[in-house]
Amino acid sequence: MSDVLLDVVDAEFRYARGMAPAASGINLQVRPGDAVGIVGESGSGKTTIGRGLVGSLLPSAGSVLVQGRRWKSVSRRDPVRRTVQMVFQDPYASLNPMLSALATVAEVFRVWDKVSADVATSRAEQVLAEVGLSGEVIRRRPALLSGGQRQRVGIARALACSPQVLVADEPTSALDVSVQANVLNLLLDLKASRGLALVLISHDLSVVDYLTDRALVMLNGEVVEQGETQTLLKNPGHEYTKTLIGSIPGTSLTTAS
Amino acid sequence: MNTELLRINGLGVEIAGLPVLSEVSLSLPTNGVLGLVGETGSGKSLTCRALMGLLPRINGKVVAGSITFDGVSLTDLDEPGWARVRGREIGFVPQASLNALDPVMTVGAQLREAVSHLDPDVDAKARSLELLDLVRLPQVREVLRRYPHELSGGMRQRVMIALALAGRPRLLLADEPTTALDVTVQKAILEVFADLRTSTGMGLLLVTHDLGVVADVADTVAVMYGGTVVEFGRAADVMSTPSHPYTAALLGARPATRGRNERLTTIPGVPAVPGQWPAGCRFSPRCAFARDECHHVQPTMLQAADGRSRACHGWPDPSEEAPAHV
Amino acid sequence: MTATTQTPSTTPRRSPHWLRLPHWKFAQRRPRGALALGLALLAVIVLATIFVPMLSPYTATAIAGKPLMAPSWLHWFGTDTAGRDVFVRTWVGGRNDLLMVVLVVLGSSIIGTLVGVVASMSSPLTDSILMRFTDALISFPGMIIVMAIALVFSGVGEIGPFPRGALPAVIAIIAINWASYTRLVRGEALSLRSRDFITAATLLGYSKSRIIARHLLPNLATTVGAYMVVDAIVAVVTIAGMPFIGAGIQPPAPEWGSLMLAGSTVLYSAWWVTVMPGLVVTVYGIALSLIADSLLAEIDGGAR
């Protein structure tokens, strides 16, 4: 049990008391090195689960444990907080427009490692280099970065506090295909080099298939199917999963190449 | 009857003196479906604007080439001329059209308004019902009474398409019509397009960034990069054996084409930005096969024996080429 | 079309609608030209308030000629009922007005911004208490409160460069004026808070004060700055209006409002006593609204 980083047990999430649950009956364990996909369409509750995993939304029933502890008991400066970090869908909105890439990442080291500005900057340079950003680019503000570069900065900021799990909510949906490939390659590399566990929230089955080993299929706030990604895609059990797979455009394309 | 509905030949466009499109060439047969593919900033939406005569509104103008619709040149049309073409000859489903409906008018009122404007001789109410049937909306009478916010995204997009069909256009231009929609809804909308093609006999120009969508619905495809068309041909051919390095790279970048945990093909560098085109081939700074001449001479569209054309100095094989459009 | 367009879900940052005065087409089309013109006009006014009193042969309070002399080479803006030079009184008065405006705008914006940011970051209860108080201030008839406060402090004499009555007026105006900044800032801060970079900061365990200082305030600066310029117009109108209700700077110290008030009794026979300072106030208003409009155009344009 000790190696379970995130443990979701019969969790239910509501945005307000009295409102219908946005997701319920969720069970999920994330161990080091895991790659889990959460698939669904808009309104399926997949983003809600993401918020629950990082502790920004507390379950209204059941529990979400991070390193065996409830999020509610994890204070702002608790080292347990470093376990999970998030990568957002909209790379522009996820960065402070007034801070350069370097300042954004360095701030994490200033806060968590209590180091001087110089040390924080040089550590930030290292992390940014790890995500493929170096040189003059890292001194730019987000408005002067491309979409792909912004998403790398967002990933670097998450990495700066040395998390063990990365929760990525549609990390490539706002990006062009060729840029998406760069970010997916990066996530793949990080999984290998850092032994990061990855929770990938996406509507795109091809991305989930590419990156994850296990997956949950969500519909209307409930998990309709859960299992090994490949099995799930090859032999879908639930009607909805079949519909989803049948809706992926360009299946002919995949076999042709 | 001309079997070629639309031909764009060597189109060049400037906005406020800045070149944003050059050497855009493509064609669409009557009742054909053309996929116009490209990434952000490739010029696909601007090509749409040029086709709808909407360039003057963004201070742009055609500086080279021609647009021919059913044998008639649209290039020198004045504003009243465009007003006769828009909606009646060419229907338009604009980008981000999910919020383009008037929030304080019912769907029925908006449809009747469009019909009485574009097709004044028919009974607007009956025609509205017919239009909603065409886009396969269920419970049409119910939908007519609804306000846009009461409809789902997919339903709103169907209404937008119905509006574009009100003037019985012979060409429907759809700019990223399924981008903001869920995949299951996207599939249904694409099926609507396929139906419309048979039921109305019109041509469809589908602008998208998604090669998968093109593979599913288009019979010809034009790939745009850096404000120009780099490859044009039958969709099946282009998708299975791309003849331009950019098309090949785009196809290789799709996660579906790779096994799990296998690195995807990426394109180095950043996309060309309008006004800062590189010298020579627009793609040359990012091209793995670029040679010396690629950095100096902009390639023109050349047609190969199989009817496909591309603008490339010769990857993978420079033989068997003859100038296009002679 | 730059890479910025790769993020379709980014909502463009626009200035709040109520900050939009009727726009000058000039400022919308050529923000930089409008900004330059506005700054130039403002500079002329500021320089005049500094140098006219220094260089003029007359002083603001001494009698310079016969009463109610029409504008001439000797007295550019004429003389008033007591025979004092209106030109020098206008610029000495302008200095008093501008000093008060600077204090009012700085004081209101600092207090208002802090309260607004704190409200946006507080619990719903604290937030609603703060905002109900703010609403109450805004909905009260401002001039009555200003008058009351100014009268309470009317015993305060001359302090530094401020003539008698100036500081009580400044305090009175700040006391109600900060609330409009609070409304503006809270709304903007709430919309910023919903952006993912604030969520990211929270997930990283950043403290509230860090989030406010590093992530909220810098992003509010342009909006608050533009509003400060708009507010500087409103403030001058308020300050100049105070003599009409017996508050504000006390005679014989000049001030734009009291100059115009003094001239109103002789408006038909000696228009210059009222109209000349009025023209200066108008130019001041035009200068600031050109600056404000061009700043707003920049904020809106920056979204694209």
Q: Is the pLDDT of residue A195 over 60?
A: yes
The residues pairing with B19 across neighbouring beta strands, listed in sequence order, are B14
Residue with the larger pLDDT of the pair B116 and B265: B116
Mean pLDDT of B64-84: 89
Q: Where residue B222 falls among pLDDT bands split at 50, 70, 90?
A: very high
* Torsion sign over Cα A113, A117, A119, A121: positive
Neighboring chains of C (3 or more beta-carbon pairs < 8 A): A, B
> Cβ contact (<8 Å) for C2 and B41?
yes
Could you tell me the residue ranges of all domains in chain C? 51-303
Mean pLDDT score across all residues of chain B? 86
Q: Cβ–Cβ of B260/A230 closer than 8 Å?
A: yes
Cβ atoms B162, B148 nearer than 8 A: no
The string of pLDDT tens digits covering residues B34-65 is: 999 988 888 998 999 999 988 888 888 899 99
Which of C196, C214, C218 comes nearest A88 by C-beta? C196
Q: What is the CATH number of the domain that holds A135?
A: 3.40.50.300
pLDDT at C169: 87
Reported as a single tens digit per residue, the pLDDT across B225-274 is: 999 999 999 998 898 888 899 998 888 888 877 777 778 888 888 788 77
Residue C6 to residue A174: CA distance in whole angstroms: 6
CB contact under 8 A, C5 and B270: no
Which chain C residues are closer than 8 Å to B96 by Cβ? 8
- pTM given for the model: 0.84
Would the CB atoms of B255 and A254 count as touching at under 8 Å? no
The Cα of B229 is separated from the nearest Cα of chain A by a number of Å equal to 17
Q: What was the pLDDT predicted at B108?
A: 93
Q: Are the beta carbons of A84 and A94 closer than 8 angstroms? A: no
Distance (Å) from the C-alpha of residue C18 to the closest C-alpha of chain B?
22
Query: How far does A251 lie from chain C, in Å, by closest CA?
Result: 25
Which percentage of chain B shows pLDDT scores above 70? Answer: 94
| CA pseudo-torsion sign B141, B147, B152, B153 | positive
- Cβ of residue B16 closer than 8 Å to a chain C Cβ: no
Chain A residue numbers with beta carbons less than 8 Å from the beta carbon of C204 are 81, 85, 108, 111-112, 157, 161
What whole-number distance in Å separates Cα of residue A158 and Cα of residue A137? 19
Residue A1 lies in a domain: no
Lay out the sheet containing A69-70: strands in order across: A23-30, A6-13, A61-66, A69-70
Q: Three-class SS string for chain B? A: CCCEEEEEEEEEEEECCEEEEEEEEEEEECCCEEEEECCCCCCHHHHHHHHCCCHHHHCEEEEEEEEEECCEECCCCCHHHHHHHECCCEEEECCCHHHCCCCCCCHHHHHHHHHHHHCCCCCHHHHHHHHHHHCCCCCHHHHHCCCHHHCCHHHHHHHHHHHHHCCCCCEEEEECCCCCCCHHHHHHHHHHHHHHHHHHCCEEEEEECCHHHHHHHCCEEEEEECCEEEEEEEHHHHHHCCCCHHHHHHHHCCHHHCCCCCCCCCCCCCCCCCCCCCCCCCCHHHCCCCCCHHHCCCCCCEEECCCCEECCCCCCCCCCEEECCC
Angle at alpha carbon of residue A108, lines to A141 and C198, rounded to 5°? 65
Is A110 contained in some domain?
Answer: yes
Please answer yes or no on whether A250 and B212 come within 8 Å at the CB atom: yes
* Placement of tokens 């916010």 in the chain: B149
Closest of B34, B47, B116 to residue B274, by C-alpha: B47
What is the CB neighbour count within 10 angstroms for residue C70? 11
Asked whether the beta carbons of residue A111 and residue C197 sit closer than 8 angstroms, the reply is no
Alpha helix positions (H), chain A: 46-53, 101-113, 117-130, 147-159, 177-194, 205-211, 229-234, 239-247, 251-256
What is the number of other CB atoms lying within 10 angstroms of the CB of residue A73? 10
pLDDT band at A254 (very low <50, low <70, confident <90, very high): low
Task: Identify which of C10, C205, C219 has the shortest CB distance to residue A92.
Answer: C10
Give the Cα separation of B107 and B88 in Å (integer): 20
Query: B67: distance to nearest CA of chain A, Å?
Result: 28
Chain C: give the shortest CA distance to residue B101, in Å.
19
Q: Is A172 on the interface with C (CB under 8 A)?
A: no
Does position A200 have pLDDT exceeding 60, yes or no? yes
CA of C195 to nearest chain B CA: how many angstroms apart? 20
Residue A231 within any structural domain of the chain: yes
Q: Is A86 on the interface with C (CB under 8 A)?
A: yes
CA-CA distances (angstroms) from residue C247 to B169, C107, C168?
Answer: 71, 20, 9
Q: Do C1 and B270 touch (CB under 8 A)?
A: no
Q: Which residue of C has its CA nearest to A143?
A: C4
Asked if B96 and C6 come within 8 Å (Cβ–Cβ), the reply is: no
Point out the residue among C7, C207, C210 whose CB comes nearest to the CB of A147.
C7
Asked, for residue A125, whether it belongs to a domain, the answer is: yes
Q: What is the pLDDT of residue B90?
A: 93
Beta carbons of A76 and C205 less than 8 Å apart: yes
For chain A, the domain total comes to 1
Between B82 and B320, the higher pLDDT residue? B82
Phi-psi region of B64 (alpha: psi -120 to 50; beta: other; left: phi over 0): beta
Residues of B in contact with A178 (CB under 8 A): 39, 249-250, 253, 266-267, 271
Complex ipTM, two decimals? 0.90
Instruction: Closest CB to C7: pick one of A77, A81, A92.
Output: A92
Q: Is the pLDDT of residue A217 over 50?
A: yes
For A32, A33, A198, A215, the CA distances from A194, given in Å and listed in that order, are 10, 9, 11, 21
Q: Are C204 and A108 in contact (CB < 8 Å)? A: yes
A112 in contact with C, Cβ within 8 Å:
yes
Residues of chain C contacting residue B15, judged by C-beta atoms under 8 Å apart: none
Over residues A151-163, the pLDDT tens digits come to 999 999 999 999 9
Q: Does the beta carbon of C5 lie under 8 angstroms from any beta carbon of chain B?
A: yes
pLDDT at B326 over 60: no
pLDDT at B188 over 60: yes
Q: How confident is the model at residue B316 (pLDDT cuts 50, 70, 90)?
A: low
Nearest by CB to C6, from A96, A111, A174: name it. Answer: A174
**What's the residue count for chain C?**
304
* pLDDT values of chain C reduced to their tens digit, one per residue, 304 residues: 333 333 333 334 444 444 444 555 666 667 788 889 999 999 999 999 999 988 888 888 888 788 888 888 888 898 888 889 999 999 999 999 999 999 999 999 999 999 999 999 888 999 999 999 999 888 877 777 777 877 787 777 788 788 888 888 898 899 889 999 999 999 999 999 989 999 999 999 999 999 999 999 999 998 899 899 999 999 998 888 888 877 788 878 888 988 888 888 888 888 999 999 999 999 999 999 999 888 887 776 654 3
| CATH 1.10.3720.10, domain C51-303, yes or no | yes
CB pair distance less than 8 Å for A203 and B190:
no
The neighbouring-strand residues paired with B37 are B208, B223
Distance from CA of C107 to the nearest CA of A (A): 25
What confidence score (pLDDT) does residue C25 get? 60
| pLDDT-wise least confident of A60-69, A88-97, A181-190, B284-293 | B284-293
- Alpha helices by DSSP H, listed for C31-165, are 31-55, 86-121, 124-139, 142-152
Residue B198, token pair as written in the block: 């048979």
